[in-house]
Amino acid sequence: GAGVSQSPSNKVTEKGKDVELRCDPISGHTALYWYRQRLGQGLEFLIYFQGNSAPDKSGLPSDRFSAERTGESVSTLTIQRTQQEDSAVYLCASSAQPPGELFFGEGSRLTVL
């Protein structure tokens, strides 16, 4: 597609379950970012992929969070043993040439009961 695609758009899960969120960036974009946005708050950086370089994982809040990206294509963000404080919108963005314009997806809204 023309834009950044994220799935699922909404996910409700029970505390302790694992969830996987997917991001399909704009074709040709080498950089991919994941951010978390809690209700009424700003964007919290999670992780950044750039080409074949080692990802910048400095924003991952705990070892329950991990992310992978295959080449310059799809990325998955995995949250293990979800907690209620993980409830948020998870935003993915891609960029053709960082630090240029980021193109954001619509986000995946995660609710942990």
Which residue number, 111 or 113, has a Cβ lying nearer to another protein? 111
As a dihedral over the C-alpha atoms of residue 16, residue 17, residue 18, residue 19, rounded to 10 degrees, the angle is -120
- 41 contacts another protein (rule: CB under 8 A): yes
- 7 contacts another protein (rule: CB under 8 A): no
Contacting range for another protein; rule: CB under 8 A; set: 10-18, 62-70, 77-85, 102-110? 102-110
Which residue number, 4 or 112, has a Cβ lying nearer to another protein? 4
- 25 contacts another protein (rule: CB under 8 A): no
Its sign, for the CA torsion 48, 9, 36, 68, is negative
Contacting range for another protein; rule: CB under 8 A; set: 11-19, 20-28, 45-53, 64-72? 45-53
